[in-house]
Structure 1
Amino acid sequence: MTEDNRKDEGLKALGAKTAYRMDYAPEVLETFENKHPGNDYWVQFNCPEFTSLCPITGQPDFAEIRISYIPGERMVESKSLKLYLFSFRNHGDFHEDCVNIIMKDLIRLMSPKYIEVTGYFTPRGGISIYPYANYGQPGTKYEKMAEHRFINHNMGR
């Protein structure tokens, strides 16, 4: 993306000096126009170095966060997503909350046709937790897709 395109889209983070937020900051998320809104296609982000804090002990939790979505009219800009995910570093929430908050923030931001977010949290106390949340636009085939994928999540594992 050229500097002119970045300005046309209203993107601030891309190409700018990186300023990391130290607590949960959904306001850093930015979008750009999907040039293929009539096509169904997947966009997947993997964040293998996600960290947040346990809200009870304050100890760090580590995870890989995987976000997959079928874009509608808008798409999330990847650097702003990186800064957003980094903003959880000093944020205290349970694993399940983090996954649902991420999904809901991205739904509010870009109104995707479909989205799913999975957290692969490393073991603490001998137990791994892998929360999964998904969403399909109500009244569309994506709502049915979300129901099907949810029911069949982790089949064969």
Structure 2
Amino acid sequence: MAGRNEEDLKDITLLGNQNTEYHFNYAPEVLETFDNQHPDRDYFVKFNIPEFTTLCPMTKQPDFGTIYISYIPDIKMVESKSLKLYIFSYRNHGGFHEDSINTIMNDLIELMDPRYIEVWGKFTPRGGISIDPYCNYGKPGTKFEQMADHRIMNHDLYPEKIDNR
């Protein structure tokens, strides 16, 4: 199944659109998908988002971090511009780091139904403490469920030296 035709891309409305609307509050409805062109192969897609911003729900002060999203697609994949707009919609959203990371993962599971996904946030310190929540999911009843169990139990056993924040 090589290449895409116009029918494959009919649901993608944001890519190439010069009249992009930016949502300043949480907007999962902007997420779009396209068909995986290689559904018979397991492979990772990774997004690195170094400029994630959200608001502390208590103080309303901004929190900054890098978000890493890695997933193994099944039938659907997330379109990257829609993901960018979705992430941008967190800018004025009040959410704790842990909740934001889990919500991102939940929204992407609902959107794509991936075989496997993990979301890791690495936030800049506030008050001398950085918070780095990690969550993952493997499709129930598959080898990916076992993979998720293994990765969560072995996650961050050897944390990196933090000197770049």
Q: When the two structures are superposed, what TM-score results if normalisation uses the length of structure 1?
A: 0.95
Show the counterpart of 1:13: 14
Matched-pair contact (CA < 8 Å) for 1:6–1:14: no
Show the counterpart of 1:111: 113
Unaligned runs of 5+ in 1: none
Compute the displacement of 1:9 (Å): 3.2
Unaligned runs of 5+ in 2: 160-165
Compute the displacement of 1:8 (Å): 3.5
Indicate the RMSD between aligned Cα atoms, in angstroms.
1.6
Show the counterpart of 1:88: 90
Which residue identity lines up with residue 25 of structure 1 in the other structure? A
Identity of aligned residues (%): 64
> Aligned to 1:149, which of 148, 151, 154?
151
Match of 2:93, SS state, is coil
Runs of 4 or more, structure 1, over 2 Å off, are 4-9
Match of 2:130, SS state, is strand
Matched-pair contact (CA < 8 Å) for 2:9–2:34: no
- CA 1:73/1:7 → structure 2, altered by over 3 Å: closer, same or farther? closer
Matched-pair contact (CA < 8 Å) for 2:31–2:111: yes
Show the counterpart of 1:100: 102
> Aligned to 1:60, which of 56, 59, 62?
62
Compute the displacement of 1:119 (Å): 0.4
Match of 1:128, SS state, is coil
Match of 1:124, SS state, is coil
Structure with more strand by fraction: 1
Matched-pair contact (CA < 8 Å) for 2:34–2:79: yes
Counterpart CA distance in 1 for 2:36 and 2:108 is 15
Matched-pair contact (CA < 8 Å) for 1:25–1:87: yes
Compute the displacement of 1:7 (Å): 7.4
Matched-pair contact (CA < 8 Å) for 1:99–1:117: yes
Compute the displacement of 1:107 (Å): 0.1
Which residue identity lines up with residue 38 of structure 1 in the other structure? D
Match of 1:10, SS state, is coil
Compute the displacement of 1:62 (Å): 0.1
Compute the displacement of 1:156 (Å): 1.9
